[in-house]
Structure 1
Amino acid sequence: MNQPRPHALFLYFTILILAASCADTDQNNRLTTKEREQGWTLLFDGRSADGWHLYNKKNTTAGWIARDGTLAVDTVNKTEVNDLVSDKVFKNFELQFEWKLSKNGNSGVFINVLERPDLTTAWASGPEYQLLDPAHADNANPVKRAGTLFALDAQKNPAVAKPAGEWNQSRIKQTEGKIEFYLNGILTVQQDLTAPAWQDSVGRTHFKNFPEFGKHTSGHIALQDWASGVAFRNIKIKEL
């Protein structure tokens, strides 16, 4: 019986590996039939930054790039730091997304963001779901770990982010100003943005100097461009 030639075997296994890789990529940034029926929509199609723009700059996404099925900060070509903001405004919603960071990476996702010329940053109005590499020095601060409501609420239940280069799963739910954060399936934050206790908490932080911070229960969603690389995929939302 004729034996396969070595180069033929190599080609065969190479094709199998590539096919498996493509299949894995094709599973991302897609909705199942059931998800569509439930009302989920994609905020990232896996190929472009359509549906997003830079904060206070409507017609550009410069500094961000859609590459290899991810929406990521372009660490090679960017010339300035700019957060990326959803074109649409959301009020009651469930948001799911996956994220990974570079070593010692630090980023975040903001909700209820206002866009106005007098507000120069997304975080001047929008509370932040913190994204952080566990190796980062800020991980020692309970209100700055991944899955926290940055600088305000520590984790309700212990949850550990995966290290740099690995994908994490996050979920944000908001109903009439009541929010829940989840990190890798674990509930980490519950907060009521309409309660007097919330504004009391804000008043004890540096956010007290930003009069619009945390006072709104609808707005844009923003992805933070910080000092190091961050990438997102499977960003999807269901309006409630």
Structure 2
Amino acid sequence: MKNNAVLKIVALVVAFFIFLYLIITNFYTEATSPTENTLSAQEKQDGWVLLFDGETTNGWHMFSKPNMKHAWKAVNGELTTSTNDTSGTHGDIVTDGLYENFELVFDWKIAREGNSGVFINVQDDTSYIATWATGPEYQLLDNPNMQPGYLDGGKKGAGALYGLVPLKTRVEPNPAGEWNNSRIMQVNGKINFWLNGVMTCEEQIGSERWMGLVANSKAAVFPDFSKSTKGHIGLQDWAKGVSFRNIKIRII
């Protein structure tokens, strides 16, 4: 009887330590498993490709100056730049590759009073003054802390097709320092923007309506603005600081 009691106690102790081991192992695995800047097996099968590996700035270069050391860095799994960083030249960076019909998704967070953007169809050429001289912009902004009037009726708010048209559906970004999720799709010149799951833009590049929007905007002074529906994707280094992660694209 005593032997049976001892065996039961031993079995319970062993079971307890096995249970404790499984809990600790599972916790450690969840805590250390890379969940950011990775692709699932299904995403790979669907044709998604990472534009940021989480560790380097490979695949990106300074607009019109591919050999210049820029101020963008990979830090803690984020592609980031800050006005306080003086270790490189500040400016917009663009993808090494060109894209035409695609779906692009990315997470972003912005500093307080921050102002940035993502450009599409950028022509990476020294004859152009900047990314925004040729490529339409998906606006990234700390809406609540902008000066009065800056949002321009929604044309310059986060998720907007910058300076051209107000948001299709009103939506506010998460506060400065918190992550947002955005999506851009372009198919045969038709562009759609989403911010945190809400569609904010739906326009056709080259249409009569589009030409009117451009003509009544500051972009009208740039003769090649949006003339191409194929180009580089650009990230804007404009004010305060901005960070990106999970930047992925698939060709449509």
Q: Confirm or deny a common fold (TM above 0.5).
A: yes
Distance 1:228 1:16, change over 3 A: farther
1:208: which partner in 2? Answer: 220
Instruction: Specify which of 96, 100, 121 is matched with residue 91 of structure 1.
Output: 100
Identity over the aligned pairs, expressed in percent?
Answer: 42
1:37 matched to 2:45? The reply is: yes
1:220: which partner in 2? Answer: 232
Instruction: Specify which of 43, 62, 77 is matched with residue 69 of structure 1.
Output: 77
Q: Is the 8 A contact 1:100 1:231 kept in 2?
A: yes
Larger Rg: 2
Distance 1:52 1:79, change over 3 A: closer
Partner amino acid, structure 1, of 2:176: A
Q: Is the 8 A contact 1:178 1:193 kept in 2?
A: yes
Partner Cα distance (1:20, 1:32) in 2: 16
1:183: which partner in 2? Answer: 195
1:142 matched to 2:154? The reply is: yes
State the shift of 1:143 in Å.
Answer: 0.4
State the shift of 1:189 in Å.
Answer: 0.1
State the shift of 1:18 in Å.
Answer: 8.2
State the shift of 1:154 in Å.
Answer: 1.0
1:164: which partner in 2? Answer: 176
1:7: which partner in 2? Answer: none
State the shift of 1:139 in Å.
Answer: 3.8
Count of residue pairs brought into register by the alignment: 224
Q: Equivalent residue of 1:56, what SS?
A: coil
State the shift of 1:19 in Å.
Answer: 6.9
1:237 matched to 2:246? The reply is: no
Partner Cα distance (1:93, 1:71) in 2: 21
Partner Cα distance (2:94, 2:69) in 1: 9
Question: Residues 113-133 of structure 1: CA distance to partner in whole angstroms, max 9, x if unpaired?
Answer: 001111020000000000001
> TM-score w.r.t. structure 2 length?
0.84
1:108: which partner in 2? Answer: 117
2:60: which partner in 1? Answer: 52
> TM-score w.r.t. structure 1 length?
0.88
Partner Cα distance (1:104, 1:184) in 2: 20
Partner Cα distance (1:28, 1:100) in 2: 14
Distance 1:120 1:192, change over 3 A: same
Partner amino acid, structure 1, of 2:35: Q
* RMSD over aligned Cα atoms: 1.8
Partner Cα distance (2:87, 2:227) in 1: 32
